């Protein structure tokens, strides 16, 4: 759903790069926000941040625009 066969190789590479950048930035933002509230649970906070970032990034890239007729 994220990548399809009709895309060119350049489009696929750009979409993967955009997805990766979004995951990294959301993970960092959530980690910085939640690590203050739970200083002893750094690993749990990081895993939660990473999982949330992957889910949010996938949802934002999987949205298909509605066609206007």
Over residues 3-17, the pLDDT tens digits come to 777 778 888 888 889
Q: Are 53 and 26 in contact (CB under 8 A)?
A: yes
| Angle at CA of residue 57, ends 30 and 61, nearest 5° | 160
pLDDT band at 69 (very low <50, low <70, confident <90, very high): low
Q: How far apart are CA 16 and CA 24, in angstroms?
A: 12
- Is residue 27 over pLDDT 90? yes
As given in the structure block, the two tokens for residue 43 are 């690993």
Instruction: Give just the sign of the alpha carbon dihedral 51, 14, 29, 63.
Output: negative
pLDDT band at 40 (very low <50, low <70, confident <90, very high): confident
Helix H or strand E segment including 59: helix 42-62
């Amino acid at each position: 759903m994220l990548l399809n066969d009709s895309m060119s190789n350049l489009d696929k590479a750009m979409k993967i790069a955009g997805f990766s950048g979004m995951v990294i930035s959301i993970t960092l933002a959530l980690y910085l926000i939640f690590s203050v509230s739970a200083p002893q649970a750094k690993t749990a906070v990081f895993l939660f941040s990473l999982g949330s970032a992957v889910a949010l990034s996938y949802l934002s890239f999987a949205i298909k625009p509605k066609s206007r007729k």
